[in-house]
Amino acid sequence: MLRKFLTATGVAMVLAAGAHSGVALARPAAVQAIDEARAEAAMARVETVSGLVNQSSSSLAGINARLLANPDDAEGMRALSESLERARVQAADAAAKLQALPAWKGDTDGDRLLDKSTKDATSFAVSTAAAITELQRLVNAARAGDKAAVRQGVVVLLRNLSKMIEGQALNARSRAALMTPGSSDREMTFTQANLYDGVAAAMPYLYGQVDASSTAGKVRQAQAAAQETIAVGRKRLDAEIEADRLEFKGAPPQALTKTHQIQTDLFASLARSVEILGGMADKIEAGGERTALAQDLTAMKAEEDKQQVMVREQIALGAQMVRGAR
């Protein structure tokens, strides 16, 4: 029964962690295939990488972009410089700690994915720190009277606002390394990462920083990837449900049946999110008002909120199954 709990609720923990719910990661079923010490090390690596990615991406959150609009406001520009220095220290610390992590060794699919996610996270943190350093240079020039530096600073800042979304995609992929290869849970997690990719690609377009053609291509690519992971995930979930039905001789525990239903509903919600992403691509290709994408982002957030409700239900059911196994 405990195995069933771990398998059924693995994706719930991933989704909850991806939404900063504060729920600790449970050990997914994937790590049962390796020894206990290595399982603990893998969990620790994922938590370290995810925490440092969050530290890096959140470094931009405290920067007030509106202050750039008034470079003659000496007090405002001083405050901006101070916030940039705090952001630089935070981002540089995350980058240095990620660079210090050794390569993750191993021959399994999960090992390779975890090693790649570590490298990708490192590149992400380094680029974030570099963007903040460039912003500092431009703000210093603006304070010295360089009006062109103000415009450049706005561009650099707006182009990097998607960093927080990119960080969520990275974290989802690193957590997927702990999930069973070939499981519906893993495909669901990859779907979430693909959706983040699409939103991150659209954000600079929303703020007028990139052209339509390059943006549409990236959003379409993310949409296609998410459609594929949903299709594969649904097939694997069907197989998992049938395997459970056979194992329990046609009468699986009610909590497990409810968990499978929640997983089915989660895939349906993610599919709606993919449709919204496709609608965003349609608008970008049509060359309409960039701000129209804000409505789609609101709709996608509404779907994400629904997913979080289902995640909490799934976690509660998992806890119920654990109690029943004791």
Two tokens, residue 173: 């992929």
- Percent of the chain beyond pLDDT 70? 88
- CA gap 233, 16 in Å, rounded: 19
Give me the mean pLDDT over the 34-54 stretch: 85
pLDDT at residue number 158: 75
Query: Is the distance from CB of 221 to CB of 165 less than 8 angstroms?
Result: no
Identity of the highest mean pLDDT range in 19-23, 190-194, 247-251: 190-194
CA angle, 85 as apex, 81 and 87 as ends, to 5°?
A: 115
Look at residue 155 and tell me whether its pLDDT is greater than 50: yes
From 220, 190, 234, 233, select the one nearest 281 (Cα to Cα): 220
SS3 assignment, position 70: coil
Q: Indicate the pTM of the whole model.
A: 0.79
pLDDT bracket for residue 191 (50, 70, 90): very high
Gap between the Cα atoms of 57 and 49, Å rounded? 12
pLDDT of residue 175: 86
Taking only Cα atoms into account, the Rg of the chain, rounded to an integer number of angstroms, comes to 22
Instruction: Let me know: does 129 contact 56? Beta carbons within 8 Å.
Output: yes
Per the CB < 8 A criterion, the answer to whether 98 and 49 are in contact is yes
